[in-house]
Amino acid sequence: MAIDVRAYLEAKADLDRRSLNREVLSVFGRRLKGKAKVRLLEVGCGTGVHLCRLAEVLGAKELELTGLEREVSLVRAAPELCRKRLESQGWSCWIEYRQAAPVLIGERGEQNLRLSFICADLWEFTSDSKWDAVCAHFFLDLVPVRQALFRTALWLEPQGLLYASANYDGGTFLFPPEEGFEANLLARYDASMEERRVAGEECGGARSARRLFSVLCQTGWHVLAYGSSDWNLTPVEGSYRAADRTVLLALLEMIASEGQTLDPAASSAWYQRRLAQLQQGELGMIIHQVDLVACRP
């Protein structure tokens, strides 16, 4: 049975946390260190998991975090889910309603937090506000990179930062390795990402990390740090960490669905083999991704 989007986002929260490139994240945090107030916007924020993670990293006395997300159901669920996450991190939180919109308020020691969500598409969103940083987590493969960076630059303060994490870069590997059909299936899986278009424009797709890096260099951004943030969905002594089993199941379904255009019978047989390995604690998957932080031109 296919997992819904919200459940998938919640299931991969721990995997995302442990996969982030620590050096890149450290550079991002150091660049914002010393600011009494940090204003940050995340595009494609889902249920706000990454915003809560960043609240743990940023040490400013005042944090003003805003999440931009187009899916109404995710925006509605986000404030309460974030309240629970932040309270588990030691924050005292409550939700206020300002102009009918929920705003999450938090306090922890001398730190104050204001977390709000905007339901809008990236291309529809407009604002006169300027942010110290814009974050994109698991997002730039879905949109035309050059256009997204142009909009990002408009929203940033001078010397503002882009922190782009978990940018897929064309590498999905399953273990134990299989020969034959699987190679074609994984190639088709990547090809489906490469075929994405927004208003006729090519998206980041299966090579979003290298496309992002190239466009940043071409348009005058200063790349401060970058490094791998691979997903390691591998069993340890026959057991999976946190909700990795749920994430693996969802990924198997996504990949197998692409096989229907190749050979439905072979795709179904492949899925059943890999599913049996998952159930036995034998299946592993490694997915290559890249994090980077860059400074606005």
- For 225-284, the pLDDT digits (tens) are 999 999 999 999 999 999 999 999 999 999 999 999 999 999 999 999 999 999 999 999
Where are the strands (E) in 90-155, listed by range? 92-98, 101-108, 111-119, 131-137
Q: What is the mean pLDDT of residues 124-128?
A: 89
Which CATH homologous superfamily contains domain 5-295? Answer: Vaccinia Virus protein VP39 (3.40.50.150)
Residue 1 has pLDDT above 90, yes or no: no
- The band of 4, judged by pLDDT with boundaries at 50, 70 and 90, is confident
Phi-psi region at 200: left, alpha or beta (left = phi > 0; alpha = psi -120 to 50): left
**Tokens coding 47:** 């249920």
Tell me the whole-structure pTM to 2 decimals: 0.95
Q: Is the pLDDT assigned to residue 196 strictly greater than 60?
A: yes
Residue environment code for 74-109, b if the CB has 16+ CB neighbours within 10 A, otherwise e: bbebbbebbbebbeeeebebeeeeeeeebbbbbebe
CA distance 68 to 59: 22
At residue 2 the predicted structure's pLDDT band, cuts being 50, 70 and 90, is low
> What are the structural domain ranges in the chain?
5-295
Sign of CA dihedral 57, 58, 61, 62: negative
What are residue 68's DSSP bridge partners? Answer: 43, 118
